[in-house]
Amino acid sequence: MLILGLESSCDETAAALVTGDRRVLAHRLAGQEEAHRPYGGVVPEIAARAHVEALEPLIEAALADSGVSLADIDAVAATAGPGLIGGVMVGLVTGKAIAHAVGKPLIAVNHLEGHALSPRLADPDLVFPYLLLLVSGGHCQLLLVEGVNRYRRLATTIDDAAGEAFDKTAKVLGLGFPGGPAVERAAQMGDPTAVPLPRPLFRSPEPHFSFAGLKAAVARIAGDYRPEDVAASFQAAVVDCLIDRTARAIDRAPGATALVVAGGVAANNAVRSALSSLADAHGLRFVAPPLWLCTDNAAMIAWAGAERFAAGLLDPLDTPARARWPL
Ligand code: KG4
Ligand code: ZN
């Protein structure tokens, strides 16, 4: 089984070819950091235009890398939401056009499902059900992944996502965009105990998240401390919150075979190592995809497509793009 995957829901344009037996034959990606940098964040209209320009050449390149032709694919999987609607439409319409032209089915993938199943692309031994911490720029959720198309949401953020807080912290500290990796680098040279910062919802009974108060606190005190110390203290606060909330969710997920992390913030080494220790303490396996698979990419969309294809879950060509689409 061979799936072409397309991703364009935020600020990465991507195309990938992935097989049902977990071989990534090609994965191509074009970021838009340069276009958005002057604005310190993703500008939807600029993103949509950039996707239009980048997507077709990326598909051509992915086909050339893998040596297959469009006639060889079994289905086209495209992100159909959630995300910036202009961008989502670019990838979905392109996917529909290819599916129609080659006479193969379309699979409309929820971007969050792409993240949720991505650990199974990297790890053949990861079986359902597993507890997933999905932490990205737009989302912060704890999900019990019971199977393909079977997701039980145990918790979500009541305000901002963790990645958003990383990006905002980077902006306040003048570290540039995108913020997560920049904050992580600065944090390595700072003292995580130097700046007193709140840990919203710490120890509260429901495993929900909140980062708005932390974000606001960073903005308030940033000028009074060394940027490296703010970065390190901020990162330590995020890690504490993620660990405390995930520990709550573990109690509510008996039978989970593993603790899994996915999404852009899962690329953060402090987050990964703290979660690994938490899993150890609870006798759970810990699974984190390789870094390139954590941030947005099309291999995860192709893989989710492969899983859905195997389950017989196909979509009609009039499937709409959706800005909002909870799992
Ligand atoms: O999954 P993703 O690529 O896009 C969304 O679906 O949101 O996640 C992007 C988010 C951004 O907020 C970015 O700052 C954050 O992931 N991120 C990181 C790191 N790498 C990316 N946050 C912390 N540490 C990192 N190393
Ligand atoms: Zn994402």
pLDDT of the residue at 37: 84
Its pTM stands at: 0.95
Which of 265, 269, 291 has most ligand 1 atoms within 8 Å of its beta carbon, as the pocket-test mutant?
265
Architecture in CATH for domain 2-115+296-310: 2-Layer Sandwich (3.30)
pLDDT of the residue at 40: 76
pLDDT of the residue at 176: 84
Ligand 1 atom 19, closest CA: 180
pLDDT of the residue at 177: 78
Ligand nearest to the CA of 12: 1
Which pLDDT tens digits describe the chain residue by residue (327 residues)?
999 999 999 999 999 999 999 999 999 999 998 898 888 788 999 999 999 999 999 999 999 999 999 999 999 999 999 999 999 999 999 999 999 999 999 999 999 999 999 999 999 999 999 999 999 999 999 999 999 999 999 999 999 999 999 999 999 999 987 799 999 999 999 999 999 999 999 999 999 999 999 999 999 999 999 999 999 999 999 999 999 999 999 999 999 999 999 999 999 999 999 999 999 999 999 999 999 999 999 999 999 999 999 999 999 999 999 999 999
Looking from the CA of residue 115, the nearest atom of ligand 1 is: 1
Residues at the binding site for substrate are 134-138, 167, 180, 184, 268
The domain limits of the chain are 2-115+296-310, 125-288
Residues with CB under 6 A from ligand 1: 10, 136-138, 163, 166-167, 178-181, 184, 263-265, 267-268, 295-296
What distance in angstroms lies between residue 264's CA and the mean position of ligand 2's atoms? Answer: 6
What distance in angstroms lies between residue 292's CA and the mean position of ligand 1's atoms? Answer: 11
The CA distance from 162 to 59, in Å, is: 31
- In CATH terms, is domain 125-288 a member of 3.30.43.10? no
Q: Are 2-115+296-310 and 125-288 equal in CATH topology?
A: yes
Does residue 129 have a cis bond before it (omega within 30 degrees)? yes
User: DSSP label at 116?
Assistant: H
What distance in angstroms lies between residue 224's CA and the mean position of ligand 2's atoms? Answer: 33
The CA distance from 209 to 294, in Å, is: 20
Looking from the CA of residue 12, the nearest atom of ligand 1 is: 3
ipTM tops 0.90 = yes
Q: DSSP 3-state assignment of 189?
A: coil
The CA distance from 307 to 313, in Å, is: 9
Looking from the CA of residue 269, the nearest atom of ligand 1 is: 26
How many angstroms from the chain centroid is the CA of residue 223? 31
Q: For residue 114, what are the contacts with CB-CB under 8 A and spacing of at least 6?
A: 7, 79, 300, 301, 303, 304
Residues, the chain: 327
pLDDT of the residue at 171: 93
The CA distance from 208 to 242, in Å, is: 10
pLDDT of the residue at 169: 97
Residues at the binding site are 111, 115, 134-138, 167, 180, 184, 268, 296
What distance in angstroms lies between residue 135's CA and the mean position of ligand 2's atoms? Answer: 9
